[in-house]
């Protein structure tokens, strides 16, 4: 048996993981499922952006597209949410997980055909589900709008196939130690199916149903989107910098306190709703306790970066992932603040909540996914990114767009809420207060859509130039290699 080839510097692993196979031996067998997840995720990103733009424009042109029931605001908004959450974000995260799990436990992906089939079925579920919303067959339950009878069985089947492939891979782990990213990713694959089935059980009625609905909807954020993205951040920051994570103890604290406190948070979506006070109060206390996992993760990531911020100039992966990590802290602090009864009274029925949603789902989840793709796609194509300029344009459009989106809706939301609570003002005044900020949101939405167009075009270009060296100043290998080898650049 020949010795495996030496590991090149940019492939340095977190220090705690031992290796017998080369990274290429591990990556190659799983390429197809990862590529299919990414390709379809990007298609859903474009579709979701289109629905988001249409929904946003309807605030400026309420009479636009009113001739057909398919294009009412309610339908388009739900189509946007589902295309983005279960299409873009989930498929991107599935792709990242199918790539990361084998890397982290040092064994190739198992049951690859099953994973491929699962991804295809998941996509059929999305087409049926989003179609069912537009055709007026929505279940009318937030975050579970896609039709329970037609679409949901496809998600269970497709997700089941993908999950079995991930579990089969996990069962073959060869490393001496389970790195923290694995805890997060593996637990997300355990939690999400339980939540999805529970959230869809047709046995709850009235306010009981509202409680189960928000238990599901909150935990899909906390136990599906969040752990996979935190797992990715825990992988990519040490990987690109070539140094181990700052503290193993803090990563343990962050993981277990997330598992404990996040599950109790759900009822903060129903503050003021018709539920027992103890349920709401527990969720508010748990929202405050979220400071523990959030601070643990933030300190750990920050301390790993300390002294190496210069690498942000050279690594697109690091840039997007670090922005995402900072946004995780921001959305969580904002969330704990929003859970205070006095704050929630002002913000609940306003655009503030939409701003918070997009700090979470865009600035955190989407940016981490972009960063992860910047790392993984060249390893799928065997070539570099063709253009440093396109990466820059993507980054700045995304940053500018999301900053404008969030700032505008946060200010507009508070003004709207204060006007709504003022008995001297008619309801119309609250809509007027938010109006200019909604125009800014539409402009921001178009910036984000342009960013997505640039990114998708760049990925297509990278695939077409498979195996060829790129002209990327971003990925100029020297500075990264120097910093990875721990010799030169800080």
Provide the binding-site residues for ligand HEM, judged by CB under 6 A.
Answer: 49, 52-53, 55-56, 77, 80-81, 84-85, 88-89, 142, 221, 225-226, 265, 268-269, 287, 290, 294, 331-332, 335-336, 338-339, 344, 347-348, 353-354, 356-358, 360-362, 364-366, 445, 448-449
CB nearer to ligand HEM: pick between 100 and 404: 404
Give residue number: closest CB to ligand HEM.
335
Residue 489 is encoded by which pair of tokens?
């650049």
CA angle 351, 416, 207 (to 5 degrees): 60
Q: CB of residue 80 vs ligand HEM: minimum separation in angstroms?
A: 5
Half-sphere exposure in the Cβ direction for 194 (13 Å, CA): 9
Residue 91 is encoded by which pair of tokens?
């498929």
Q: CB of residue 5 vs ligand HEM: minimum separation in angstroms?
A: 38
CB nearer to ligand HEM: pick between 19 and 353: 353
Q: CB of residue 474 vs ligand HEM: minimum separation in angstroms?
A: 23
Measured CA to CA, the distance from residue 216 to residue 195 in angstroms comes to: 6
SS3 per residue for 82-135: HHHHHHHHHHHHHHHHHHHHHHHHCCCCCCHHHHHHHHHHHHHHHHHHHHHHHC
CB nearer to ligand HEM: pick between 85 and 180: 85
Q: CB of residue 58 vs ligand HEM: minimum separation in angstroms?
A: 8
Strand partners, 471: 387
Q: CB of residue 308 vs ligand HEM: minimum separation in angstroms?
A: 25
Determine how many CB atoms are found less than 10 A away from the CB of residue 422: 11
Measured CA to CA, the distance from residue 238 to residue 375 in angstroms comes to: 13
Q: CB of residue 12 vs ligand HEM: minimum separation in angstroms?
A: 29
CB nearer to ligand HEM: pick between 82 and 165: 82
Q: CB of residue 240 vs ligand HEM: minimum separation in angstroms?
A: 23
Q: Cβ contacts of residue 460 below 8 Å, gap of 6+?
A: none
Distance in angstroms between the alpha carbons of the first and the last residue of the chain = 39
Distance of CA 395 to CAs 49, 388, 392, 408, 454, Å? 17, 11, 5, 20, 10
CA angle 226, 228, 233 (to 5 degrees): 90
Half-sphere exposure in the Cβ direction for 291 (13 Å, CA): 7
**Is residue 72 helix, strand or coil?**
coil
Q: CB of residue 60 vs ligand HEM: minimum separation in angstroms?
A: 11
Q: CB of residue 469 vs ligand HEM: minimum separation in angstroms?
A: 32
CA angle 237, 303, 321 (to 5 degrees): 30
CB nearer to ligand HEM: pick between 118 and 360: 360
Q: Do 329 and 364 meet the contact criterion of CB atoms below 8 Å apart?
A: no
Distance of CA 114 to CAs 30, 62, 186, 371, 478, Å? 11, 45, 18, 27, 40
Q: CB of residue 458 vs ligand HEM: minimum separation in angstroms?
A: 17
CA angle 304, 308, 311 (to 5 degrees): 120
């Amino acid at each position: 048996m020949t010795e495996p080839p030496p590991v090149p510097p940019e492939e340095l692993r977190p220090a705690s993981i031992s290796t017998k196979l080369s990274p290429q031996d591990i990556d190659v067998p799983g390429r197809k499922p990862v590529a299919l997840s990414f390709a379809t995720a990007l298609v859903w990103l474009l579709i979701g952006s289109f629905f988001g733009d249409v929904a946003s424009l309807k605030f400026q042109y309420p009479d636009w597209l009113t001739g057909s029931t398919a294009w009412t605001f309610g339908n388009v908004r739900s189509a946007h949410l589902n295309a983005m959450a279960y299409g873009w974000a989930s498929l991107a995260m599935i792709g990242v997980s199918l790539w990361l799990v084998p890397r982290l436990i040092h064994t190739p992906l198992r049951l690859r055909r099953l994973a491929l089939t699962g991804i295809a079925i998941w996509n059929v579920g999305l087409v049926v589900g989003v179609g069912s919303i537009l055709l007026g067959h929505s279940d009318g339950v937030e975050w579970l709008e896609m039709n329970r009878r037609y679409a949901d069985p496809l998600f269970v089947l497709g997700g089941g196939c993908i999950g079995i492939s991930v579990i089969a891979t996990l069962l073959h782990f060869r490393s001496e130690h389970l790195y923290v990213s694995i805890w997060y990713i593996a637990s997300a694959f355990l939690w999400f199916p339980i939540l999805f089935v529970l959230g869809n059980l047709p046995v709850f009625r009235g306010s009981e149903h509202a409680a189960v609905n928000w238990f599901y909807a909150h935990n899909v954020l906390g136990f599906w989107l969040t752990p996979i993205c935190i797992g990715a951040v825990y992988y990519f920051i040490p990987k690109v910098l070539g140094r181990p994570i700052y503290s193993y103890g803090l990563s343990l604290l962050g993981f277990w306190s997330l598992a404990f406190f996040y599950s109790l948070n759900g009822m903060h979506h129903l503050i003021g709703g018709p539920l027992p006070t103890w349920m709401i109060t527990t969720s508010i206390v748990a929202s405050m306790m979220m400071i523990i996992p959030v601070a643990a993760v933030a300190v750990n990531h920050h301390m790993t970066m300390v002294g190496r911020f210069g690498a942000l100039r050279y690594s697109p992966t690091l840039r997007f992932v670090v922005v995402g990590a900072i946004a995780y802290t921001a959305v969580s602090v904002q969330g704990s603040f929003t859970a205070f009864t006095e704050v929630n009274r002002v913000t609940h029925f306003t655009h503030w909540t939409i701003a918070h949603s997009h700090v979470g789902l865009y600035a955190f989840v989407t940016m981490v996914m972009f960063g992860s793709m910047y790392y993984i796609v060249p390893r799928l194509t065997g070539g570099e990114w063709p253009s440093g300029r396109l990466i820059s344009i993507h980054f700045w459009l995304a940053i500018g767009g999301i900053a404008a989106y969030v700032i505008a809706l946060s200010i507009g939301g508070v003004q709207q809420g204060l006007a709504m609570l003022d008995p001297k003002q008619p309801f119309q005044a609250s809509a007027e207060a938010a109006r200019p900020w909604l125009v800014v949101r539409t402009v921001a939405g178009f910036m984000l859509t342009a960013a997505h167009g640039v990114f998708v075009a760049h990925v297509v270009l990278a695939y077409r130039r498979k195996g060829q060296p790129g002209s990327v100043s971003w990925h100029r290998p020297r500075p990264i290699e120097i910093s990875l080898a721990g010799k030169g650049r800080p």
